[in-house]
Structure 1
Amino acid sequence: MMNSKSTEMMKKTCKDHFFKAGQWFWFVFVYGIALIAFSSLIQKSFFAMILLPIVVYGIYHFFMRERIAFKEINYQIVFYVVSIVFAVFMFFVAYSVRVQIFSWDWGKVIRSASEYTLTDKLTDTTYFARYPNNQFWYCILTFFFRMVHFIWPETGLNEFYLASIALGCVMTVASILLLHHIAVLIWNEKKAFFVGLMTWFCMPLWLWAMYAYTDIAGMLLLVVMLYCYTKAVLSEPGWKVFCWLCLFGVAASAAFSVKVTVFILFIAVFACLLLQKKSWKKIIAGIVIVAISFGVGHGLCNYVKSSVIPLEESYCDAYEFPLTHWIMMALGYGGYQQEDVDFTISFNSYEKKKEANIKEIKKRLKARSFHESFKFFGYDKQVRTWGDATLASCVYLAEGPQEPDNILKQFVTLKGSKYWIALLYMTLYYGLILVGMFLSARFAVKRKSDAKAVDMPIFASSITMLGIALFQTIWECNSRYLVVFIPIMILLAADGFFAWRDYLRGERIK
């Protein structure tokens, strides 16, 4: 019979093996994703792909320098000064490239929240019964618009729209600043400074900042969740750990109501909690605290939704789309299809919609051979998800006339005369992010099989990106859905470049 010491050693070994297996799986997956993405990027901006190896080679020489930066610089102060400048410019860009037409779901929620603020009525209840995923963000936006209306009584739809742009920019800036702080916790001020700069230079973030919608709100909540988890794993054992886990659960409940894909980080953290090198009592206690705080937070979110949008169960049953709708739509060409929406609407109950969707899913799966299915899921859908360096930002900006008419629109709209310049930059930037993510995965599998606390936020980020990749494979896919995960992608890329630098400097010393 094994003694307790042998049992603990076995548990530790099993956790290390699971940790290493997860790293290897992520490495293989990110390698495939990078190849697929580059095959698409080279068709869209060939010159950027030619420049990419040159830039990587330049980074190599930069890393081989004796001294990369001045030690006497106060990186924290410099970063915040730079952030103020960039934040002002972000607001300027957001207001300069704003669209005039309230299109897609973002525009629908803006109009409905404005209507409710001004009239205390919601006309299109059908939309929110059909898409319950937008209900909580509608409630938040309504609360925000009421604050704006209280301060500025003469507001109308256009003024609310302008205020929402400011809200989107504030959420984006907050995400960047919090990501910088996470990097400080994981590494140090110097490395965090470069992480912050990498994030500020992410052009799709600037173009999405104007949209006060679930993508940007979800991104902020994702960073809040990652921050709480990082504080929990890096804090000294005690009550602070459980407080941070409690806050993580609350943030996760809000994230689940705003953008359900953010919940993938919740699952990733749950897996990381199980891999912690602590006693099972502490692990179970942590999981229970997260579960309870999530449950309470989720209940409060549901209460808010039911108070602002009182919809009867029979009404929701007649209009709500089942999850099978998006799986069915994913089996078309991979993205949104109005024909599929019309098909699901044609049935008058939730169960009938679900049954019809399942039949259509089976039909579409049978229509493809094994080879066609493999190509569709393994390549076509991945290209649609990972193959757009702009993350669909320029596509959405081109949906309506730009207001006001200025030179910036020539850079950021598909038909703009200078669009190729922005595409070149974003493709080169995105290529570097993919290279960094690959390096992160590569050096992770080279490290000793030891799940240290400081490695867990990066490991959780890797699982999260793996999760969203798998989710996009079976769901309606769109590169816009990656906007939420930009901070995590940058964090992983930074981890890869830092690991590469340490490796190169170590080899030079040898």
Structure 2
Amino acid sequence: MKITNQLYRNIFSKSIQYLFITTHLLIFLLCIFSFKIINAYKLYISNYNVFLLGIGIISVLLGFKLSRHFKYNRKTVLVLSAFLFFIQLFLIFHYYFYTDWDVQELLKNAIALSDKNFSELNNFYFSRYPNNIFLTVFFSKIFTLFNGLLGQDFAYVFLLVIQSILNILSGVLILKVTLLLTKSEKYAFFSYWLYLLILWLSPWVVIPYSDSMGLIFPILMYYIYTHPKMHYILKSVLLSAIGIIGYSVKPQIAIMIIAIIMVSLLTQKIEMKPLIAAIIAIFVVSFPMFFAINRINSTAGFDLDYEWEMTYHHFIKMGLNSETDGGYLSNDVGSSISIENKEERIIYNKQIIAQRIKNYGVTGLIKHQAKKTLNNYNDGTFGWGLEGSFFEKIFPNDSYVAKITRSFYYSSGKLHLIFQGIVQSIWLSILFLVLGNVLIGREKMTREFLVLMTSLIGIFLFESIFESRSRYLYTFVPIYIIVASVGFQQMTQNFKKRALKLKTGVKNEQK
């Protein structure tokens, strides 16, 4: 039998849908029954996930009821965004603090670059993690901008202002994309409700790092991809440029552009002329941008030794450790650092990878993956407070707003459990609503939906293979919100159809 291109496309579409639903059903069930499993980085409140899911569903229904009262127009979105921006800034100024871990390393080196104190640069750190150079250089430009004017402290606060702007813009894009996909204002504002409770409320906005700086990139790329009036050449140019910048900020952001390319090539009829034009446009943009970013990184002032670079083998090795269930392990870092030669380090890490897989066996590896998945997905705070000496320097502030916000967001605060409960309940609701996409029929399974599913499968695989961190999911939360909103629409529409059939059936019986 001759297999047609259309059949190949149908097989790919169905495979993605089944794989997406299967993985996310397992994720959801693991989270719900997580009280039976002890894993590293476990959020204590997750032992009550069944109860929290109930609270989350009530919040979801309340948000859906409220969303019916909003009408989409530019003025409404602009006023709402401006209001939320200023409120968020007001709160930020009352609870922001200095943290350490990688954030402190980037900031210290950014200040050294801005002051041209090249002798103070940590070349060893950036030789190991060159992916952080681009963001450090960007930070240094902000510090340079404010040098001699308002000082380093104001420059730091300005970084938080930038992240707040990116957060607010991400919310607007969530609203716009959901409106495009659902063709419904109430579901669009429902998605915005989810954004408010899981992202706008999130304190990660006060941590100047790749998570908050990278938040906008996946949703922005998807918005461009789905824009109905944008020419495909312009789309190719913008997606290439934004994808490269996003990758330079946080590598896993590239998963979205990979998903777009995969779905585009495997689900639509290829016409050579538009394809060649798009490829030329991509190359014309990509090569100069890659060159420019590499030039920026190489001429920033660092004296790098690429023999020290931590290759992906190290992160796979760490993802297989049983002590932290695939999380960060200082012993693994130390063993990699102890080998100065890059090739020897790669060989060593490969050996440890093979040894750990062998030691686990099939059953052990499945159990390890279950714990690792809980590390990644069973935390609606996305690892808030878990990195290093997280609350490194707290600024004195005795105002009432500061006391309330700090009690809410700081780990030692009396209200912190309430914060955890809110975001955990909403995150569980999102994971539940995502499953509603199983109800999408073949006629409605468009390329746009497939890109969403493929990207979330991609981030799942990324987190499953490499070092586990719930924080790494943060940049894809806008995508999860959109998928949950579409899933909720499928659930409500399916419920209405069944209710109508039942009502019609009862009437026919009465006749």
TM-score range, shorter chain: 0.7 to 0.9
CA distance in 2, matches of 1:251, 1:299: 15
Question: Quick check: 1:321 aligned with 2:310?
Answer: yes
CA distance in 2, matches of 1:60, 1:168: 30
Helix, strand or coil: the match of 2:97? coil
**1:216 alignment counterpart:** 212
CA distance in 2, matches of 1:402, 1:45: 28
- CA change 1:83–1:394 in 2 (3 A) is farther
1:400-447 deviation digits (Å, cap 9, x = unpaired): 35334523222223332222211211121111111111112x123xx0
Cα deviation, residue 139, structure 1: 1.5
**1:17 alignment counterpart:** 11
Asked if the contact 1:273/1:287 (under 8 Å) is kept, the reply is: no
**2:79 alignment counterpart:** 81
Asked if the contact 2:430/2:484 (under 8 Å) is kept, the reply is: yes
Cα deviation, residue 137, structure 1: 0.8
1:239-268 deviation digits (Å, cap 9, x = unpaired): x11111211011111111111101111111
Helix, strand or coil: the match of 1:476? coil
Helix, strand or coil: the match of 1:407? helix
1:57-86 deviation digits (Å, cap 9, x = unpaired): 7867997x9x97358x45543333222222
Cα deviation, residue 29, structure 1: 0.9
Q: What amino acid is the match of 2:218?
A: L
TM-score by length of 1: 0.86
- Cα RMSD of the aligned pairs, angstroms, is 2.8
Q: Which runs of 5+ in 1 are unaligned?
A: none
Question: Quick check: 1:330 aligned with 2:330?
Answer: no
Q: Which runs of 5+ in 2 are unaligned?
A: 37-43, 398-402, 502-511
Q: What amino acid is the match of 1:163?
A: F
CA distance in 2, matches of 1:58, 1:403: 34
Asked if the contact 2:67/2:186 (under 8 Å) is kept, the reply is: no
Helix, strand or coil: the match of 2:75? helix
Find the partner of 2:489 among 460, 478, 498: 498
Question: Quick check: 1:175 aligned with 2:170?
Answer: yes
CA distance in 2, matches of 1:54, 1:387: 16
Q: What amino acid is the match of 1:50?
A: F
**2:429 alignment counterpart:** 432
**1:202 alignment counterpart:** 198
Find the partner of 2:345 among 348, 353, 356: 353
Helix, strand or coil: the match of 1:473? helix
**2:292 alignment counterpart:** 300
CA distance in 1, matches of 2:254, 2:193: 27
Cα deviation, residue 45, structure 1: 4.4
- CA change 1:162–1:147 in 2 (3 A) is same
Question: Quick check: 1:29 aligned with 2:48?
Answer: no
Asked if the contact 2:101/2:390 (under 8 Å) is kept, the reply is: no
**2:141 alignment counterpart:** 143
Cα deviation, residue 383, structure 1: 0.7
- CA change 1:57–1:193 in 2 (3 A) is closer
Question: Quick check: 1:486 aligned with 2:496?
Answer: no
| Residues 251-270 of structure 1 mapped to structure 2, 5 A cutoff | 251-270=242-261
Q: What amino acid is the match of 1:458?
A: F
CA distance in 2, matches of 1:473, 1:443: 26
CA distance in 1, matches of 2:221, 2:368: 33
Asked if the contact 2:35/2:48 (under 8 Å) is kept, the reply is: no
Helix, strand or coil: the match of 2:215? helix
**1:115 alignment counterpart:** 112
CA distance in 2, matches of 1:204, 1:174: 11
| Residues 279-290 of structure 1 mapped to structure 2, 5 A cutoff | 279-281=270-272, 282-283=274-275, 285-287=277-279, 289-290=281-282
Helix, strand or coil: the match of 2:340? coil
CA distance in 2, matches of 1:93, 1:426: 17
Q: What amino acid is the match of 1:104?
A: W
Asked if the contact 2:169/2:216 (under 8 Å) is kept, the reply is: yes
Cα deviation, residue 235, structure 1: 3.6
Question: Quick check: 1:56 aligned with 2:64?
Answer: no
- CA change 1:394–1:272 in 2 (3 A) is same
Q: What amino acid is the match of 2:68?
A: A
Q: What amino acid is the match of 1:259?
A: K
CA distance in 2, matches of 1:143, 1:32: 44
Asked if the contact 1:252/1:294 (under 8 Å) is kept, the reply is: no
CA distance in 2, matches of 1:58, 1:338: 40
1:286-322 deviation digits (Å, cap 9, x = unpaired): 455445533432222112111214545xx222x2222
Over the matched positions of the two proteins, sequence identity in percent amounts to 22
Farther off after superposition, 40-49 or 416-425: 40-49
Asked if the contact 1:41/1:387 (under 8 Å) is kept, the reply is: no
Cα deviation, residue 507, structure 1: 3.3
Farther off after superposition, 118-127 or 169-178: 118-127
- CA change 1:498–1:259 in 2 (3 A) is same
Helix, strand or coil: the match of 2:353? helix
CA distance in 1, matches of 2:249, 2:348: 28
Helix, strand or coil: the match of 2:339? coil
Asked if the contact 2:382/2:474 (under 8 Å) is kept, the reply is: yes
CA distance in 2, matches of 1:89, 1:224: 23
Asked if the contact 1:172/1:220 (under 8 Å) is kept, the reply is: yes
1:189-224 deviation digits (Å, cap 9, x = unpaired): 443232223212215763111122111222222222
- CA change 1:327–1:249 in 2 (3 A) is same
| Residues 233-252 of structure 1 mapped to structure 2, 5 A cutoff | 234-235=228-229, 240-252=231-243
Q: What amino acid is the match of 1:491?
A: I
Find the partner of 1:129 among 127, 130, 148: 127
Asked if the contact 1:97/1:404 (under 8 Å) is kept, the reply is: no
Farther off after superposition, 264-273 or 210-219: 210-219
Question: Quick check: 1:229 aligned with 2:225?
Answer: yes
CA distance in 2, matches of 1:218, 1:211: 12
CA distance in 1, matches of 2:411, 2:67: 38
Helix, strand or coil: the match of 2:414? coil
CA distance in 2, matches of 1:57, 1:145: 45
CA distance in 2, matches of 1:395, 1:96: 21
CA distance in 2, matches of 1:61, 1:407: 25
Asked if the contact 1:398/1:413 (under 8 Å) is kept, the reply is: no
Cα deviation, residue 39, structure 1: 2.4
CA distance in 2, matches of 1:339, 1:62: 46
Asked if the contact 2:178/2:486 (under 8 Å) is kept, the reply is: no
Equivalences, count: 482
Asked if the contact 1:276/1:283 (under 8 Å) is kept, the reply is: no
- CA change 1:363–1:13 in 2 (3 A) is closer
- CA change 1:443–1:76 in 2 (3 A) is farther
